[in-house]
């Protein structure tokens, strides 16, 4: 694999705009199904709720094809697992006002880091990685908007000087009267 950032899909390049005006290289594109794909059977609970919030919008933007279903399912699954771990931690924190469930007591009576903390952190990191793939974070959307349409700038005082490579006549102020010769 080549070093550097991963290649950007053609559809996202087109959404960002084409400031260089170079013709983009055609890429094989999977067809977008006529309706939003159904979630896989293992996507249940919170993950299914997120699927039905996210998938229709991604489908509308032509960012969700049948090939993308596993990646979106992984995103939704990570969300479901993160949400369960976070809710369990919240319940544990209510019973532990001193340490906020960051530490637990082992079977030997020693203090140890609560594994739910690392589980929640891991699934949150997975969610962010998958969300970036679909442009679901603010940073990913700003990268899309950064290359998109820019607001028109006010016309410059030199705006009429050059047009399509030809020089247009310019009115000059005369400081002396023209010669009568």
Lowest model confidence (mean pLDDT) among 12-21, 46-55, 81-90, 116-125: 12-21
Lowest model confidence (mean pLDDT) among 126-130, 137-141, 162-166: 162-166
Give the separation between CA 130 and CA 70, rounded to whole angstroms: 11
Pull the structure tokens for residue 141.
Answer: 């959307």
42: left (phi over 0), alpha (psi -120 to 50) or beta: alpha
Considering 80-94, 105-119, 145-159, the range whose residues carry the highest mean pLDDT is 80-94
Q: Is the dihedral of CA 72, 77, 83, 86 positive or negative?
A: negative
pLDDT tens-digit map of 63-97: 888 889 999 999 999 999 999 999 999 999 888 88
Tell me which long-range contacts 45-51 makes (C-beta under 8 A, separation of at least 24): 45/80, 45/84, 46/79, 46/80, 46/83, 46/84, 47/73, 47/76, 47/77, 47/79, 47/80, 48/76, 48/80, 50/75, 50/76, 50/79, 50/80, 51/76
What is the reported pTM? 0.65
pLDDT tens-digit map of 43-68: 999 999 999 999 999 998 888 888 89
Strands, DSSP E only, in the chain? 103-105, 111-113, 162-163, 166-167
Every domain of the chain and the residues it spans? 46-144
Give the separation between CA 100 and CA 180, rounded to whole angstroms: 96
């Amino acid at each position: 694999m080549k070093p550097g950032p991963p290649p950007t899909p053609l559809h996202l390049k087109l959404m960002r705009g084409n400031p260089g005006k170079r013709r983009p290289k055609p890429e094989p594109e999977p067809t977008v199904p006529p309706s939003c794909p159904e979630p896989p059977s293992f996507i249940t609970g919170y993950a299914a709720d997120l699927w039905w919030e996210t998938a229709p919008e991604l489908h509308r933007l032509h960012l969700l094809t049948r090939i993308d279903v596993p990646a979106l399912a992984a995103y939704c699954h990570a969300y479901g697992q993160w949400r369960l771990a976070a809710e369990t931690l919240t319940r544990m924190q209510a019973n532990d006002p001193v340490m906020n469930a960051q530490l637990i007591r082992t079977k030997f009576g020693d203090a140890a880091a609560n594994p739910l903390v690392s589980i929640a952190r891991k699934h949150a990191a997975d969610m962010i990685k998958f969300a970036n793939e679909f442009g679901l974070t603010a940073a990913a959307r700003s990268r899309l908007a950064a290359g998109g349409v820019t607001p028109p700038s006010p016309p410059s005082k030199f705006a009429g000087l050059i047009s399509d490579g030809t020089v247009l006549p310019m009115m000059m102020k005369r400081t002396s009267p023209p010669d009568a010769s």
